[in-house]
Every structure is written in structure tokens, then in C-alpha cells.
């Protein structure tokens, strides 16, 4: 009985297996004729990617400690996701990634970082060290803004008058600000 069932259903199973295997192969060969037409299917998946570029170093020199200092620069942020969305996280190289400048044993000087997802922005959003600012979108259409818009975001670094007044005159303060952009 079992053997009979096997004999009956084995060809059917083989046929189904063959048909299933055939569905994985979508390419079709042509037939012999005056012309012959074949088709192939092309599949590709593009991973979500972002890039930040056109960054410049920030230098505050011989600033008047009575007034706050500010440096604004237009940079390029590119994203290939739907809606060209991204988020950005800034970290300083102070203690616990604080936005501070150091000068040897002198007390560190704090600075603030602000961001806007458009170039030449006057309205910006303050960034918190280590916290992502989500929901940003860019107008850049090439990874380094080599075509399309020349820049697509605004980065602002500020030092308050209080912070400047806490710095020692003649001393040089330096720090590194790291910006991490991720696709959304």
C-alpha cells in the first residue's frame, strides 16, 4: 500500500519540485528562428547610505571676551534614503564627549553646536553631545555635492561670553568635534 502510494505520488512530487525549481530561474532562452529573443531579469538592492563633506576647521582668534563668538559654515550632507532622511550626532573630545576645548592644565572652555538641514540657515537647532538629532532631510543629490546643490546643511559653533571670559589670554585652546550622520 505504502509502496503503491509512493509509486503514484513520486512522479507528482518530482513534477512539483521541478516546477518550483523553475520559478527561481526567470531567464528565458530564445527559440530557433529567423530572429531569436531571450530575456533576463536583473535584480539589485542599493543599501541606505549617507555622507558628510565640505567641513572646515573652526578658528576663533583674538576674540573679544566681552561678546560671544560664532562660526557658521555651510557643508554637504547627502542621503539616498526615501525622502533623503538622516540623523546627526555630535560629540566633543571633552570629558564624556563634552563640547569643550582644552589647553593643557587650564580649565576647559565650553562651546555649543547648532545644526540646520539647509544651507545658509539663520535658524538652527542646538545639538546635545552624544544625542542624535533625528528627522533631518537633505537637498543634496550627489554624495559630495559635486552636482546639484553646492551645500545642504549649516553647522554653527558658538562660544558664549562667559566661556570666553573663563579662558586664559594668550593660551591656545583646541578640541575635536565629531559629527556622525546616519540614514533614516
Partner 1 sequence: MILLVPSMVIAESPLRNRPRRGGRWLPRLFLALLGLFAVALAAPAAAQEKFVKIGNLTDYNFGTITNLSADRTLASSICIYSAKATPGYNVTAIGDGAGGAFTLAGGGGTLAYEVQWNSLPNMASGTTLRPNVTLTGLLTTALQANCNNGPPSSASLIVLLRATALQAAPSGTFSGVLTIVIGSE
Binding site for partner 1 (CB under 8 A): 25-49, 80-82, 141-143, 183
Distances (CA, A) of 111 to 59, 159, 165, 168: 12, 5, 12, 15
Distance, CA of 165 to CA of 160 (rounded, Å)? 9
Toward partner 1, which CB reaches closer, 34 or 62? 34
- Residue 18 CB, shortest distance to partner 1, in Å, is 18
Toward partner 1, which CB reaches closer, 34 or 66? 34
Toward partner 1, which CB reaches closer, 167 or 181? 181
Distance, CA of 7 to CA of 121 (rounded, Å)? 77
- Residue 91 CB, shortest distance to partner 1, in Å, is 25
> What spatial distance separates the first Cα and last Cα of the chain, rounded to whole Å?
60
Toward partner 1, which CB reaches closer, 152 or 163? 152
Q: Dihedral angle at the C-alpha atoms of 70, 76, 47, 134, nearest 10 degrees?
A: 30
Distance, CA of 180 to CA of 118 (rounded, Å)? 17
Cβ neighbors of 5 (< 8 A, separation 6 or more) are: none
Kind and range of the H or E element at 123? none
Q: What is the number of residues in the chain?
A: 184
Toward partner 1, which CB reaches closer, 10 or 134? 134
- Residue 137 CB, shortest distance to partner 1, in Å, is 13
Amino acid at each position: 500500500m505504502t509502496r503503491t502510494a509512493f509509486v503514484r505520488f513520486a512522479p507528482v512530487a518530482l513534477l512539483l519540485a521541478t516546477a518550483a525549481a523553475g520559478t527561481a530561474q526567470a531567464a528565458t532562452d530564445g527559440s530557433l528562428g529567423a530572429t531569436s529573443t531571450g530575456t533576463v531579469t536583473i535584480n539589485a538592492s542599493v543599501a541606505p547610505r549617507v555622507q558628510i563633506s565640505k567641513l572646515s576647521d573652526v578658528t576663533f582668534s583674538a576674540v573679544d571676551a566681552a561678546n560671544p563668538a560664532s562660526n557658521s559654515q555651510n557643508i554637504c550632507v547627502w542621503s539616498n534614503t526615501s525622502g533623503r532622511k538622516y540623523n546627526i550626532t555630535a560629540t566633543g573630545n571633552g570629558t564624556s564627549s563634552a563640547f569643550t576645548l582644552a589647553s593643557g592644565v587650564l580649565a576647559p572652555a565650553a562651546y555649543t553646536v547648532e545644526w540646520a538641514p539647509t544651507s545658509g540657515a539663520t535658524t538652527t537647532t542646538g545639538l546635545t553631545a552624544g544625542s542624535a538629532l533625528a528627522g533631518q532631510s537633505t537637498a543634496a543629490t550627489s554624495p559630495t555635492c559635486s552636482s546639484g546643490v553646492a551645500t545642504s546643511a549649516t553647522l554653527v559653533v558658538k562660544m558664549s561670553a562667559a566661556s570666553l571670559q573663563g579662558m586664559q589670554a594668550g593660551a591656545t585652546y583646541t578640541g575635536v568635534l565629531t559629527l556622525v550622520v546616519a540614514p533614516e
